[in-house]
């Protein structure tokens, strides 16, 4: 019996001594390791990145520039393939299409509303620049109105279904990771246009503003993470560094 008591006392003393010799956790090292782990998770490459773009295009036809304005939204897959849906509209007088009908001078006003399916292969992508090859199919309706004056209420209208395709080369400058200024030079081809009096095959240019939702989310998450681990320094300076890096 005495031997059993001695053994139990010895075991308790060993556990007590080991507990006293255990080193305390280094808080700084623990925080640093967890910060690296959390930041690596935030900065990981994602398969799908939400995208949004405002677009302003110029169609050149018979010496006149026609403005087509719109937007698209979708995703960028693996930083290589952009897939989006868009909407565009045009409303302009056609100075190159004046016509005499029954001894009266008529102006022509063109209006177009159409949706688009957009694809773009990104073959070069760096921190500040990216290069791509966009291909787009648009389908909708256009209207051609004949008026004696811009204010006239009596006019003749032609309308019909429209199917066009655009393709070209694009370049995007990204002064901030989540905002890019994008330019395109390309060619537009009518596939179907039921308004025969106006066909606008030809060169077009485009200037737009590209917004990457994923990059905005990353910056917000990194700012919160630095605040959590007390690594902000100056809040404004940290925000500027995150946006411009």
Contact criterion met (CB below 8 Å) for 145 and 157: yes
Q: What are phi and psi of 198, to 5 degrees?
A: -140, 110
**pLDDT at position 195 over 50:** yes
d(CA 60, CA 210): 23
Domain boundaries, the chain: 52-212
Beta-carbon neighbour count of residue 155 at 10 Å?
Answer: 14
d(CA 143, CA 93): 12
Q: How confident is the model at residue 2 (pLDDT cuts 50, 70, 90)?
A: low
**pLDDT at position 188 over 80:** yes
d(CA 185, CA 82): 18
d(CA 75, CA 42): 19
- b/e per residue, 33-46, with b = 16+ CB within 10 A? eebeeebeeeeeee
For 52-212, give the CATH class: mainly beta
Average the pLDDT over 79-87 and give the result: 94
| Confidence at residue 97, expressed as pLDDT on a 0 to 100 scale | 61
Average the pLDDT over 27-47 and give the result: 73
**pLDDT at position 4 over 90:** no
H-assigned helices in 96-141 = none
| Confidence at residue 75, expressed as pLDDT on a 0 to 100 scale | 94
Q: Is 7 left (phi over 0), alpha (psi -120 to 50) or beta?
A: alpha
d(CA 208, CA 70): 9
- Tell me which residue of 224, 36, 41 sits closest to 232, measured CA to CA: 224
DSSP state of 124: E
Q: What is the pTM of this model?
A: 0.74
d(CA 122, CA 243): 23
């Amino acid at each position: 019996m005495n031997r059993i008591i001695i053994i139990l006392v010895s075991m308790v003393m060993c556990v007590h001594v080991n507990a006293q010799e255990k080193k305390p956790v280094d808080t700084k090292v623990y925080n640093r390791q967890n910060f690296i782990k959390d930041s690596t998770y935030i900065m990981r490459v994602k398969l799908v990145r939400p995208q949004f773009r405002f677009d302003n295009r110029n169609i050149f036809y018979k010496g006149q520039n026609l403005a087509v304005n719109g937007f698209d939204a979708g995703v960028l897959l693996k930083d290589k393939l952009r897939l989006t849906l868009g909407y565009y509209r045009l409303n302009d007088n056609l100075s190159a299409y004046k016509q005499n009908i029954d001894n009266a001078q008529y102006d022509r006003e063109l209006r177009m509303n159409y949706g688009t399916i957009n694809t773009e292969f990104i073959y070069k992508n760096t921190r500040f620049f990216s290069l791509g090859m966009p291909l787009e199919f648009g389908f909708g309706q256009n209207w051609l109105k004949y008026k004696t004056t811009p204010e006239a209420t009596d006019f003749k209208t032609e309308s019909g279904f429209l199917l066009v395709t655009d393709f070209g080369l694009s370049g995007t400058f990204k002064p901030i990771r989540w905002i890019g200024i994008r330019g395109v030079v390309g060619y537009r081809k009518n596939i179907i246009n039921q308004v025969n009096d106006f066909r606008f095959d030809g060169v077009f240019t485009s200037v737009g503003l590209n917004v990457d939702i994923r990059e905005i989310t990353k910056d917000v998450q990194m700012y919160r993470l630095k605040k959590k681990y007390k690594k902000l320094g100056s809040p404004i300076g940290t925000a500027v560094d995150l946006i411009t890096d």
